[in-house]
Amino acid sequence: MKLFVDTGDVEEVRQAVEWGVLDGVTTNPTLIAKSGKGFRETVLSMCHLLPDGDISAEVVATNYDEMLKEALEISSWHSQIVVKVPLIEPGIRLVSTLADKGIRTNVTLVFTVPQALMAAKAGATYISNFVGRVDDLSDDGMVAVQDTVRMVQDYGFESEVLVASVRHPLHVVQAIQAGAHVSTMPFKIMQMLFKHPLTDSGLKRFLDDWNQAGLSIFEKQTASV
């Protein structure tokens, strides 16, 4: 499963890139607004930090003509950019147009299988299925992910299912169990994927035992060796 970080903060991307496990970045208008930096500059910095990664950048217009203009502008900035498009009627029309032009898209704000069907048929590269926002309404957001993965596999769609609106590591586990292609998450959730108290206590014990024995990896070799 590909791992994307969901952020508008270039520093977070820089840190995640250092781990060598990052496949891409998703942004949205809220995250870019929160960053306090320009949209183009932020997205281009992310492309440079992660040269093989997919960087999603979202249009903000809601009528087809304006959305198309924005999409062509955004995609002209860099070949790594994936144009993020909301799942509204003109958005699906836009995805079809962009697919014909070979421009990759990430359809966002997808909550149901029928919506995912529209995105897949239009030729979306990624279908961003939001789970946390559904869970917030006392429903199970992961059910639509499971059904969408099955739909994509059964009908041979080329779209990849991207689990978005991830709130905790259990969502990541469930995304894996559902066979999702990608999971995007805030940087702090990605940091939590490392954590286990038994890892911390186990490491402490190993190091205490090692140090008490006075051992060193760089010990001097004896003449007989």
Residues catalogued as catalytic: 84
Binding interface with ligand E4P (CB under 6 A): 6, 26, 28, 108, 128, 130, 132-133, 164-165, 184
Give least dist CB 136 to ligand E4P, A. 8
* Least distance between ligand E4P and beta carbon 86 (Å): 11
Which of 179, 171, 170, 188 is CA-nearest to residue 148?
179
CA distances (Å), 50 to each of 12, 19, 25, 54, in order?
A: 12, 12, 9, 8
**CB of residue 129 to ligand E4P, shortest distance in Å:** 10
Q: Which is nearer to ligand E4P, 170 or 203 (CB)?
A: 170
Contacts of 169 (CB under 8 A, 6+ apart): 189, 192, 193
CB 31 within 8 A of CB 55: no
CB-wise, 118 or 162, nearer to ligand E4P?
162
Helix, strand, or coil here: 88? coil
Nearer to ligand E4P, 188 or 205 (CB): 188
